Structure 1
């Protein structure tokens, strides 16, 4: 199993002070131990959780200030060494980052496709990686209504929508927020890579990658499991208030990171 972590974006909505800008995956959070042992970047937390889940083939798609991410990886000195691929046009949509990782998407085996800017714990990652080869989506039914969350709608166990805006009249029996972590088996990952390539070739490189995943789902050529992670602590960090919520509300619910070191 291979994890592809999308970390190319500028994070302009985070409104970081001039001279202090950095990729969002380098935001650091100090856990409740208070001794600094849990002071780690989102990037390092990804590495720890994936390693504990048995995933040691990890690809970062970087772009904005990618040298800072390279420096963080060098300082961590993670083993086995992670792979990086640079999206030089990171101001476009995240679909281009997935296209940048086409080789990693199509070299065989199950693929995890993950946003880098998420603070979470093992109650999120465990159901994503459990079992044999499979396609899997994560849903959190406890979400704030609004335009920002990417909604996942399911009818009779089948995903029927993956978008921020849900069309009026759409039939579904379950709705929740997509965590932004996806799992694809080998054939489905290859098909997604082809869909993404078509986006880029037809002038749609500014689109978010969720749109390509949506197209994949609506083809209904591949069976998807839906893993319900409602109640598990996580937050995607897009805005300044998300940083505060991450530190004040989500972080205290996580196990200290030092328990996962080694």
Structure 2
């Protein structure tokens, strides 16, 4: 059954410093393309898709992010969750958002540093799967991309360095939709890692744990290889975003 978009809540991870962008770089969520920041684009797209409840984890230069949210008029509510330990792994940001994961709603978990348009978000929302990943088959070689690994149409691994045999893999977009029960399970797994002092980890680690624990049975994926998007990790990604992605986005 197709999900009701209005009962989804988005959790955007925007606390990190983005060290690879340079010492003086702003938060990646504040990078501007076509006169609009990535964060403002997120909020506009989510509004257009009927997702009116949004929580955002902030940390590095938090006042700047607060000001950007305040400038954006929207119909729904935005809750800002401060992560003072933003220098740690992104699992800590997800830990600060654990109450959102346990809210009893379907959750859209989203990296903040992605340039995309509403077609990508709608691919996530319109999926027939209750728990869904997005992937792009046009993956760059190397260890940097997080890989979603597929075997016989089923997700079998989720890692930068996959450890399980599979037929093929694509790059994870960093956007997910989780059912209320799976979101709550994710919160429990995140809490376990943080309580054990493993705050250096990235948020993908507990998600991988869930995929392996469920044998991939409760998770699906949607292919967005036909849609324009880019994650901003390095300065050269900014130029690629402006020349190869931005012109292909719909308003």
* Alignment TM class, shorter chain as reference: over 0.9
CA contact (8 A) 1:142 1:231 kept: no
Question: 1:56-83: per-residue Cα shift (whole Å, max 9, x none)?
Answer: 1100000101100101111123332311
Once the 2 structures are TM-superposed, how far is the Cα of residue 124 of structure 1 from its aligned partner? Answer: 1.3
Say if 2:229 is the partner of 1:229: no
Divergent runs of 4+, >6 A: none
Q: 2:101 and 2:80 mapped to 1: Cα distance?
A: 13
Find the aligned partners of 2:153 and 2:183 in 1 and give their Cα distance: 21
Which residue in the other structure is 1:7 paired with? 14
Q: Which 5+ residue runs of structure 1 have no aligned equivalent?
A: 31-38, 257-262
After TM superposition, list the pairs within 5 Å mapping 1:196-235 onto structure 2: 196-220=190-214, 223-235=218-230
Q: TM-score, normalised by structure 2?
A: 0.93
Q: Following the alignment from structure 2 to structure 1, what is the Cα–Cα distance between the partners of residues 117 and 73?
A: 22
Separation in 1, partners of 2:167, 2:135: 13
Q: Map 1:1-262 onto structure 2 (within 5 A).
A: 1-15=8-22, 18=24, 21-30=25-34, 39-130=35-126, 134-167=130-163, 170-220=164-214, 223-256=218-251
CA distance in 2, matches of 1:230, 1:22: 29
Secondary structure at the counterpart of residue 207 of structure 1:
coil
**1:123–1:229 contact (8 Å) kept in structure 2:** no
Give the paired residue count. Answer: 243
Computed over aligned residues only, the root mean square deviation of the Cα atoms, in angstroms, reads 1.4
- Quote the offset at 1:131 in angstroms: 5.2
Q: Normalized against structure 1, the TM-score is what?
A: 0.89
**Closer, same or farther in 2 for the Cα pair 1:131/1:151, shift >3 Å?**
closer
Partner of 1:34: none
Q: Is 59-68 or 127-136 further displaced after alignment? A: 127-136
C-alpha contact (below 8 Å) 1:133/1:185 kept by paired residues: no
C-alpha contact 1:96 1:200 (8 A) present in aligned 2: yes
Unaligned residue ranges in structure 2 (runs of 5+): 1-7
Q: What SS does structure 1 have at the residue aligned with 2:130?
A: coil
